[in-house]
Structure 1
């Protein structure tokens, strides 16, 4: 497998149309659509057989307990706070045995990342509970027996098993190794419930070479990490993986997928806001320290900005352009 330098340019301006077109042209020169961005990620794993294979690997399920089928569901969830807050998940599905799964690809580390994970999972849990209850109540008889009434009462606080899987292209704090399984525990380390689980993948710590890969989990992670810079991905003699790789091929990808990928790779308003926040905070800190420390503060500011942009996969040329903006 040959590797090539990722030289995609990214927007540091508000002229999104120009940078989207430029990024689109660069994508067309690549072999594969990069699955570390949402459109490519959904094309790669948002198909029933691929998702089933990925989940069986991620959950470390033995052959007799493997997921037999999954149903991919609507990704939009609306939760009513004082105003309605909309969560858009990457891939949401339920398994044949009733597990509810949310699979997220996170390219850049946002502020308050863990809080975001918890908040999004709370919305996901509420939606899953609503759908579970609705399916039950839609088929509830008009004249229930005592046993049926008891079952309805028993279900009032019952929640479905929910699993959140986050694939992160940045270092996950407080995690040793590329895979972490997290849950809510008491002071003795016992889980509060076995129905809520978080699996965190830190791709920056995944370094298993192709010839050492043995499990489905390792295969999918290897492909996710390397597809964006590869000319020739291995299918590991697996038909499901081979089909998933085909969906990433730029030469046969739909125009819609390529355009969505380009749009996603240009810096969003949220990312530009974060970049501006770094610059303003660093500038304010520099003024507070006085003129004598201004140069050192500016250097520290530039280092933070550069590290953030590189975490997004921004090329060195674009990093330099960003740092030149005053």
Structure 2
């Protein structure tokens, strides 16, 4: 993409993006632009899957916001941020998850189940599978394709103890006890990446995973970013450059940011009120004895603790302040 190309814009750049070089690719609209080319997604996936040389992905087909729906017996539906298939029959979904929630692990398992079923159906509908003799098709009725769920998280990873990359698989309890644990199947894999846990400087970046995490982490800082000598990375950055963004992209990005801020304020306010109610109940006995100051201290302590908790989750100070004021 030409850095010097002129974008014909009917509307001024919204205030939220003024002074920023790039759109924040952790929000859905810019995320789709950022990974919106086969070359960019292949480079990212090759790095995440640790593929080298002839093992690198040769062909890749992908779609954003891919709906997956089944009757089980009720109708169930999920929407993958990115659904991708490779020429070797590997099926992947890539999810950008900004907010942590109580059932995050459950959600990853549910999405993987949908990915597995979708991959199984596509494999059995492929020309290669249908060309097999009928008896061989029957013998392979339980065969599964390789499926990989990749979660890019804007929060600390469950059980990762501050690491920025983790991988889950299915293991035998006996092999774990024996110290020789190997995944029961190489076809079933979860990969998790934590943006805030990635703290390397640009000089410390090594490999594709580091490159893409560095960009995801720092595109929202406001300044220019290095392309690390990669034309693919340079093009990805140009796609989310504010000066290159069309009115429609700026509009949907602004709406996505506003919607999440509203949600964060609501969530923060609810947590603060719940914390205050807990402290109020704890001091009820003290009040009955005439210690009214105990409640005031408890409420103040609860607000301080919850504000600190929200900061640890990456909630902006302006949102925390607004939530505290919205009692």
Question: What residue is the counterpart of 2:134 in the other structure?
Answer: 149
**How large is the Cα RMSD of the aligned pairs?**
2.6
Q: Give the TM-score normalised by structure 2.
A: 0.82
Q: Please state if 1:53 is matched with 2:43.
A: yes
RCO comparison, higher one (Cα < 8 Å, 6+): 1
Alignment of 1:104-143 (within 5 A): 104-136=95-127, 140=130
8 Å contact 1:105–1:168 — kept in the other structure? yes
C-alpha change, 1:76 and 1:308, in structure 2 (3 Å) is: farther
In 2, Cα distance between equivalents of 1:287 and 1:313: 25
In 1, Cα distance between equivalents of 2:254 and 2:312: 18
Q: 2:22 aligns with which of 32, 41, 57?
A: 32
What 5-or-longer segments of structure 2 have no aligned partner?
A: 1-10, 176-180, 285-293
Q: Please state if 1:85 is matched with 2:76.
A: yes
Whichever of the two has the greater Rg, that structure is 2
Q: Give the TM-score normalised by structure 1.
A: 0.82
In 1, Cα distance between equivalents of 2:76 and 2:276: 33
8 Å contact 2:269–2:324 — kept in the other structure? no
Alignment of 1:180-191 (within 5 A): 180-187=166-173, 188=175, 189-191=181-183
Higher mean C-alpha deviation, range 54-63 or range 284-293: 284-293
8 Å contact 1:286–1:298 — kept in the other structure? no
C-alpha change, 1:58 and 1:296, in structure 2 (3 Å) is: same
Question: What residue is the counterpart of 1:10 in the other structure?
Answer: none
**How many correspondences in the alignment?**
298
Question: Following TM superposition, by how much is the alpha carbon of 1:81 offset from its aligned partner in structure 2, in angstroms?
Answer: 4.4
What 5-or-longer segments of structure 1 have no aligned partner?
A: 1-20, 142-146
8 Å contact 2:268–2:320 — kept in the other structure? no
Deviations 1:261-308 (A, max 9, x none): 112112447656644542453244234213435642553355435643
C-alpha change, 1:120 and 1:293, in structure 2 (3 Å) is: farther
8 Å contact 1:302–1:323 — kept in the other structure? no
Q: Please state if 1:160 is matched with 2:160.
A: no
Q: Please state if 1:232 is matched with 2:224.
A: yes
Alignment of 1:66-85 (within 5 A): 66-73=56-63, 75-81=66-72, 83-85=74-76
8 Å contact 2:156–2:194 — kept in the other structure? yes
